[in-house]
A and B are shown apart, each in its own frame.
Chain A
Amino acid sequence: AQSVAQPEDQVKVAEGNPLTVKCTYSVSGNPYLFWYVQYPNRGLQFLLKYITGDNLVKGSYGFEAEFNKSQTSFHLKKPSALVSDSALYFCAVRDNTGGFKTIFGAGTRLFVKA
């Protein structure tokens, strides 16, 4: 069965510092991996995805994610955090066996302090 784990409930960083939000996955076959962000009382917004190719994927708002096949990880990163990045972040893996369902992690709340 496919699954995704976000080991940290929350991450706190100071504005201007780099941030990392961790994600590990378990899939059979090639993974389709996604990051989404959710602001309070809103739906999720797509940030970036890894399908194939370069291990470093660039997305919206200056975010990027590094795919590591040997460690089965897909960590979200940003070189310099902004207070406005404070939100709930979800890692997700999409079923690549024909079912087309997406499995979401439990979410990591990011706090960026001014």
Chain B
Amino acid sequence: DGGITQSPKYLFRKEGQNVTLSCEQNLNHDAMYWYRQDPGQGLRLIYYSQIVNDFQKGDIAEGYSVSREKKESFPLTVTSAQKNPTAFYLCASSIDQPASGYTFGSGTRLTVV
């Protein structure tokens, strides 16, 4: 079955450490997205990519970085510059058309220890 796989499901980060969240899709979707979810704040866009080797900052990109070397993969790195990284991170993909909905992964819960 086609879908999006996020790993790991749970991740713990120490102060000053960079961590990378994985997102892989086999839906042949061109566009991929990273969202951060905090209680009561809905989803906030971190980065998105509409095509391989190209990506744009979303609303809260500071302290995060991404790459899009393959169509299937869109990893997110949470750097030490992100001062409040504890959150639930969601990856999504879609056909690159405005009438298309998103397919989401099952999320990664990141906690600073």
Contact = CB atoms under 8 A, between A and B. Distances in A.
B60 interface: no
Given A43-B90, A51-B99, A106 B105 contact: no
Interface of A: 9, 32, 34, 36, 41-46, 49, 51, 90, 94-96, 98, 100-102, 104-107
B106 A46 contact: no
Given A32-B98, A51-B99, A100-B50, A107 B42 contact: yes
B98 A94 contact: yes
B96 interface: yes
A33 to B, nearest CB: 10
Interface on chain B toward A: helix, strand, loop, or mixed SS?
strand
A22 B49 CA distance: 31
Interface of B: 4, 6, 31, 33, 35, 40-43, 45, 48, 50, 58, 88, 90, 92, 94, 96-99, 101-107, 109
Interface on chain A toward B: helix, strand, loop, or mixed SS?
loop
A44 B42 contact: no
Nearest to A44: B104
A46 B43 contact: no
A96 B98 contact: yes
A95 B40 CA distance: 23
Given A36-B101, A100-B98, 10 more contacts: A32-B98, A36-B102, A36-B104, A44-B43, A46-B102, A49-B101, A90-B43, A95-B98, A101-B58, A104-B43
A45 B43 contact: no
29 contacts: A9-B40, A32-B98, A32-B99, A34-B101, A34-B102, A36-B104, A42-B106, A43-B4, A43-B6, A43-B90, A43-B92, A43-B104, A43-B107, A44-B43, A44-B90, A44-B92, A44-B102, A44-B104, A51-B99, A94-B98, A96-B98, A100-B96, A100-B98, A101-B45, A102-B102, A104-B43, A105-B42, A106-B40, A107-B42
A60 to B, nearest CB: 11
A43 B105 contact: yes
Nearest to A95: B98
B42 A41 contact: no
